[in-house]
């Protein structure tokens, strides 16, 4: 009796295990067959793209469709997540569900993803990348820039004149004047990069060698609080806090919307904001001016994003991904999308840029005439902006009596926390 | 024979569940403990460095983590009280002879059916636009402003929304408890001349003890583990003032890329939650009375 009972139950378990094993077996078998089929005819190959720029997701999907209709290769564009893109990317790559093409912001991220990025040095378009703009790890090109971008004070030409914001004093008096008129002088928004990330570049970029400065900051040889560029930056932030409504209530959409509606005279944004501005019927001209820290007249121009290929996928998929990028950078359709649809200022010399929007034109002009300062943020410790800078900036804007100098000291703490 | 037959069925139905439980709970948990002894940035190709108990020792000097612990505790205390009080009051209301009790029951339960993420975004809008509008119209700007950008009020906003979400669910549990109280006892006490308060204190509450056990357990553990509402409503901000336990762990792991250290936090988190909820169940269980 007892024996029978036990055999019966063990038989059950064995049967169940067999069933499970059978299931997984047949699964594997079928996928194995499929992927074999894939490499035979490229037309059933599928690639996936996961990138961080929200502004171009719709346009990128349209481009993907054109590519599919031209070559038959299916391209799937995954939805973009925004601020936590890099975390999401890491999760997906770790669970072996990574995309074939992804985006990297800078060399710090590329170093981290070193084991995944494919070498693009031998691709045909590699020689066309504007000098110094390529993303390199161990002397291999692993990322191709989306385009060059610039940020600064995007201003309404009806309300602001360049000489109104030429240095600290004129900047402050302009903000005060707008405050008296009931107009927001300078709009920021609560997203980490728009709140503090981009604007925090200036004091770094104005150092004679910002790489060296950042290394020294990390090792503790200098502090921001004792550096004069940062001290003035603190004063600027204080003036912004005192004279404009709190940015913590404001989203990117609202920031740009208010600017388009004439409720704010300036916003701190980049040329990417034009995409959204053009959705509004604006009846004034817009332009971009440098943020006048230490009276500088140079725009911050750099590469914000790079295309990278996942080298850990099977060979056919990696190749298909490279083909897609090649098509995008060499075909007419690809060029048209990069310039007209994405609104990028091209970073590849073989792409001609005509009819740029007014913000991109300002960036291109600055870039051509060399009136630029670099993006120091590409050398920031990974994720420091959302992790450490943003909470400090929120605290700064919430605490009425915190001075700019105290804010800079807080940023010093944030830096120490990020590199520890 | 009957018994043997049953056992087969028993196995058939439990085995899939056991397998799923093993693969998605037990095994990851064990792997998690393993990772907590390493320093690792989460990228498969990069080396894992064995550091022993260093991660656990580091926890006690991590001010951000300790602050988050304190805030989570504070939040949980507030949330457990408010959810249970509101749930119980609603349960008592809708079980009394109210004409609209059925509709009221549905309405109160409804928020629970909305996912935490969506709920957070809805309330973000309410705090931002509706609250400021009420403040402007009524002049009570001290109370009605955007709570989410105040370092103290953001936590209360979280308690408020969490209560709004959970109270209906807890109410259902209390209703079931109240309805299972036999009518004879109630009637007998009424004949003896017991007042409404005396009936509530001496009959309803003691007999509701099992419902208290369940409700407290559910609210306690879900308040401790809150993440979705936290993420969508405040995102941990402003200035990390509402960064709860779970979010702190997430940020440590995926924000800073410290997989091992984050895992150590998660293990500690598990022991705290398990310890508190088990103690609570033990205490309230003892107070349950059988008829």
A112 and A160 in a single domain? The answer is no
Residue B145 has pLDDT above 60, yes or no: yes
**Contact flag B43-A386 (C-beta cutoff 8 Å):** no
Q: Does B215 fall in a domain?
A: yes
For residue A331, the distance in angstroms to the closest alpha carbon of chain B comes to 35
pLDDT (average), residues B167-175: 91
Q: Are residues A283 and A402 in the same domain?
A: yes
pLDDT tens, A246-278? 888 888 888 999 999 888 999 999 888 887 888
Residue B86 pLDDT more than 90? yes
The pLDDT assigned to A20 comes to: 57
Residue B116 is predicted with a pLDDT of 79
A33 in a structural domain: no
Contacts 24+ apart (CB under 8 A), A211-218: A211/A379, A214/A376, A214/A379, A214/A380, A217/A415, A218/A381, A218/A415, A218/A419
The dihedral built from the CA positions of residue A339, A345, A346 and A352, taken in this order, carries a sign that is: positive
Q: Is the pLDDT of residue B75 over 90?
A: yes
How many structural domains are present in chain B?
1
Tell whether A190 is covered by a domain: yes
**One domain, residues A277 and A399:** yes
Residue A20 within a domain: no
Distance CA B118, CA B122 (A): 6
A281 found inside a domain: yes
Boundary of a domain, candidates A349, A382, A409: A349
Is the CB of residue A174 less than 8 Å from the CB of residue A302? no
**Is the model's pLDDT at B241 over the cut of 70?**
yes
In a domain, B18, yes or no: no
Asked if residue A360 belongs to a domain, the reply is no
Q: Which of A74-83, A385-394, B88-97, B121-130 has the least mean pLDDT?
A: A74-83
Q: B20: pLDDT confidence band, cut at 50, 70 and 90? A: very high
Q: What is the predicted pLDDT for the residue at A36?
A: 41
Interval B32-38 mean pLDDT: 89
Instruction: Determine the pLDDT at residue A42.
Output: 46
Q: How confident is the model at residue A37 (pLDDT cuts 50, 70, 90)?
A: very low
Cα A395 to Cα A402: distance, rounded to the nearest angstrom: 9
pLDDT category of residue A22 using cuts at 50, 70 and 90: low
Q: Are residues A214 and A328 in the same domain?
A: no
Alpha-carbon A82 to chain mean position: 9
Which of B12, B151, B255 faces A386 most closely, judged by CB atoms?
B255
User: Residue A249: its chain B contacts at CB < 8 A?
Assistant: 128, 146, 149
Q: Please name the member of A9, A115, A395 whose beta carbon is closest to the beta carbon of B11.
A: A9
Task: Examine residue B281 and state whether it is found in any structural domain, yes or no.
Answer: yes
Residue A35 falls within a domain, yes or no?
A: no
Residue B15 lies in a domain: no
User: Is the same domain home to A382 and A263?
Assistant: yes
Residues A103 and A215 grouped into a single domain: no
CA–CA distance, B135 with B234 (Å, rounded to integer): 20
Give the burial class of A167: count Cβ atoms within 10 A of its Cβ; 0-12 exposed, 13-18 middle, 19 or more buried.
middle
- Domain for residue A108, yes or no? yes
Same domain, A139 and A169: no
DSSP conformation class of A83? T
Among B149, B240, B257, select the one facing A246 at the smallest CB separation.
Answer: B149
A337 DSSP assignment? I
Q: Are residues A310 and A179 in the same domain?
A: no
Whether B58 maps to a domain, the answer reads no
Report yes or no: B65 and B248 within 8 Å, Cβ to Cβ: yes
Q: What is the mean pLDDT of chain A?
A: 83
- Give the integer Cα–Cα distance in Å for B29 and B228: 21
Query: Based on the domain organization, do A401 and A415 belong to the same domain?
Result: yes
Q: Which residues contact A385 (CB under 8 A, 6 or more apart)?
A: A192, A193, A196, A197, A200, A377
- Does residue B25 belong to any structural domain of this protein? no
Q: Which residue has the higher pLDDT, A102 or A354?
A: A102
Q: Is the pTM of this model over 0.90?
A: no
Does residue A174 carry a pLDDT above 60?
Answer: yes
CA distance A169 to A232: 11
CA gap B167, B133 in Å, rounded: 26
CATH classification at residue A62 = 3.40.190.10
In a domain? residue B256: yes
By the 8 A CB rule, do B200 and B207 touch?
no
B101, B109 Cβ separation under 8 angstroms? no
Whether residue B290 is predicted with pLDDT greater than 70 in this model: the reply is: no
Instruction: Specify burial of residue B47 (Cβ count, 10 A radius: 0-12, 13-18, 19+).
Output: exposed
What value does the mean pLDDT take over residues A102-131?
A: 85
Sequence-ordered alpha helix ranges (H) in chain B:
2-21, 27-35, 54-59, 63-95, 101-113, 116-125, 132-138, 153-179, 183-191, 196-199, 205-207, 209-224, 228-233, 245-250, 259-287
Residue of B117, B149, B263 to mutate, interface with A, max A Cβ within 10 Å: B149
- Provide residues of A within 8 Å CB-CB of chain B: 4-5, 8-9, 12-13, 16, 20, 84, 87, 90-91, 93-94, 112-116, 246, 248-249, 382-383, 386-387, 390-392, 394-395, 398
To the nearest whole angstrom, how far is the Cα of B290 from the nearest Cα of chain A?
38
A390 contacts B237? CB cut-off 8 A? yes
Kindly state whether residue A1 falls inside one of the protein's structural domains. no
CATH of the domain at B282: 1.10.3720.10
Subunit contact B239:A115, Cβ cutoff 8 A: no
Phi/psi of residue A145, nearest 5 degrees: -60, 140
- Same domain as A343, residue A258: no
Nearest to B4 among A8, A16, A115 (CB): A8
Percent of chain A beyond pLDDT 70? 89
Report d(CA A413, CA A418) in Å as an integer.
Answer: 9
A12:B8 CB<8 A: yes
The average pLDDT across B213-222 equals 88
Contact A387 B256 (CB under 8 A): yes
| CB nearest to A398's CB, from B19, B43, B238 | B238
Nearest residue of B to residue A115, measured between CA atoms: B45
Residue pLDDT, tens place only, A188-240 = 988 888 999 899 989 998 888 888 899 898 998 889 988 888 999 999 999 99
Check whether residue A310 and residue A408 sit in a common domain. no
Distance, in Å, from the CA atom of A171 to the CA atom of A314, rounded to the nearest integer, reads: 55
Contact between A391 and B239 using a beta-carbon 8 Å cutoff: yes
Residue B15: which of A16, A392, A395 has the nearest Cβ? A16
Is B149 close to A112, i.e. CB distance below 8 A?
no
Confidence class for position A29, pLDDT limits 50, 70, 90: very low
pLDDT for B237 beyond 90: no
Chain A residue numbers with beta carbons less than 8 Å from the beta carbon of B257 are: 90, 112, 382-383
A242 and A379 inside one domain: yes
The alpha-helical segments, DSSP class H, found in A244-353 are: 252-260, 274-277, 315-330, 332-336
Is B8 within the bounds of a domain? no
pLDDT at A45: 83
Domain that holds residue A342: 43-147+304-349
Can you give the residue range of the structural domain that contains B108? 63-287
Confidence of residue A35 (pLDDT cuts 50, 70, 90): very low
Closest alpha carbon within chain B to A88: B254
Query: Taking CA atoms, what residue in B is nearest to A392?
Result: B239
> Based on the structure, what is the number of domains in chain A?
2
Size of interface A-B (CB pairs under 8 A): 72
CB contact under 8 A, A114 and B238: no
Please compute the mean of the pLDDT values over residues A287-293 and round it to a whole number.
Answer: 89
């Amino acid at each position: 009796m007892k024996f029978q009972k036990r055999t019966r139950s063990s038989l059950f378990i064995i049967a169940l295990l067999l069933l499970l094993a059978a299931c997984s077996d047949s699964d594997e078998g079928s996928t194995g067959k499929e992927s074999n089929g894939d490499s035979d005819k490229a037309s059933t190959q599928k690639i996936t793209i996961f990138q961080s720029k929200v502004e171009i997701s719709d346009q990128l999907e349209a481009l993907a469709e054109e590519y599919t209709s031209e070559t038959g290769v299916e391209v799937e564009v995954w939805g973009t997540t925004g601020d936590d893109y890099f975390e999401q990317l890491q999760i997906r790559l770790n669970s072996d569900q990574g995309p074939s093409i992804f985006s990297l912001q800078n060399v710090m991220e590329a170093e981290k993803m070193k084991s995944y990025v494919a070498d693009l040095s031998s691709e045909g378009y590699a020689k066309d990348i504007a000098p110094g703009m390529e993303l390199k790890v161990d002397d291999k090109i692993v990322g191709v820039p989306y385009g060059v971008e610039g940020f600064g004070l995007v201003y309404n030409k009806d309300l602001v004149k360049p000489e109104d914001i030429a240095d600290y004093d004129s900047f402050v008096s302009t903000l005060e004047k707008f405050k008296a008129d009931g107009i927001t002088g300078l709009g920021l928004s609560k997203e980490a990069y728009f709140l503090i990330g981009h604007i925090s570049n200036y004091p770094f970029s104005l150092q004679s060698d910002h790489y060296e400065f950042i290394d020294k900051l990390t090792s503790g040889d200098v502090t921001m609080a004792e550096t004069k560029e940062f001290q003035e930056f603190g004063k600027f932030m204080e003036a912004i806090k005192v004279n404009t409504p709190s940015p913590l209530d404001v989203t990117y959409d609202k920031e740009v919307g208010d600017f388009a509606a004439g409720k704010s005279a300036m916003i701190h944004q980049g040329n990417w904001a034009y995409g959204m501005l053009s959705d509004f019927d604006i009846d004034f001209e817009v332009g971009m001016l440098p943020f006048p820290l230490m009276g500088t007249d140079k725009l911050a121009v750099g590469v914000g994003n790079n295309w990278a290929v996942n080298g850990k996928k099977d060979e056919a998929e990696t190749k298909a991904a490279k083909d897609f990028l090649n098509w995008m950078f060499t075909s007419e359709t690809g060029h048209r999308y990069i310039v007209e649809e994405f609104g990028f200022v091209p970073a590849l010399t073989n792409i001609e840029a005509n009819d740029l929007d007014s913000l991109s034109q300002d960036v291109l002009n600055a870039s051509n005439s060399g009136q630029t300062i670099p993006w120091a943020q590409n050398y920031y410790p990974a994720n420091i902006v959302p992790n450490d800078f943003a909470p400090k900036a929120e605290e700064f804007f919430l605490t009425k009596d915190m001075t700019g100098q105290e804010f800079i000291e807080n940023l010093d703490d944030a830096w120490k926390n990020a590199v520890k | 024979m009957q018994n043997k037959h049953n056992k087969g069925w028993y196995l058939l139905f439990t085995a899939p569940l056991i397998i799923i439980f093993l693969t998605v709970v037990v095994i990851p948990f064990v792997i998690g403990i393993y990772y907590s002894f390493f320093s690792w940035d989460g990228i498969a190709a990069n080396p894992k460095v064995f550091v022993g108990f260093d991660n656990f020792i580091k926890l006690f000097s991590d001010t951000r983590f300790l602050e988050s612990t304190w805030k989570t505790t504070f939040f949980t205390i507030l949330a457990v009280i408010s959810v249970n009080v509101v749930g119980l009051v609603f349960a008592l209301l809708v079980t009394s002879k109210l004409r609209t009790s059925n509709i009221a029951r549905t309405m109160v339960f409804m928020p629970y059916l909305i996912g935490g993420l969506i709920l957070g975004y809805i309330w973000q809008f309410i705090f931002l636009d509706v609250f400021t509008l009420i403040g402007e119209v009524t002049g009570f700007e001290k109370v009605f402003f955007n709570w989410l950008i105040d370092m103290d009020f953001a936590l209360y906003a979280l308690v408020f929304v969490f209560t709004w979400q959970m109270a209906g669910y807890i109410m259902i549990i209390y209703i079931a408890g109240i309805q299972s109280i036999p009518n004879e006892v109630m009637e007998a006490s009424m004949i003896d001349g017991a007042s409404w308060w005396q009936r509530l204190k001496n009959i309803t509450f003691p007999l509701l003890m099992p419902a208290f056990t369940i409700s407290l357990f559910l609210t306690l553990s879900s308040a401790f583990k809150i993440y979705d509402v936290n993420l969508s409503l405040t995102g941990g901000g402003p200035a990390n003032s509402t960064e709860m336990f779970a979010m702190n762990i997430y940020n440590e792991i995926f924000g800073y890329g410290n997989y091992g250290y984050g895992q150590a936090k998660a293990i500690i988190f598990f022991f705290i939650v398990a310890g508190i909820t088990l103690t609570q169940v033990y205490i309230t269980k003892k107070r349950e009375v059988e008829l």
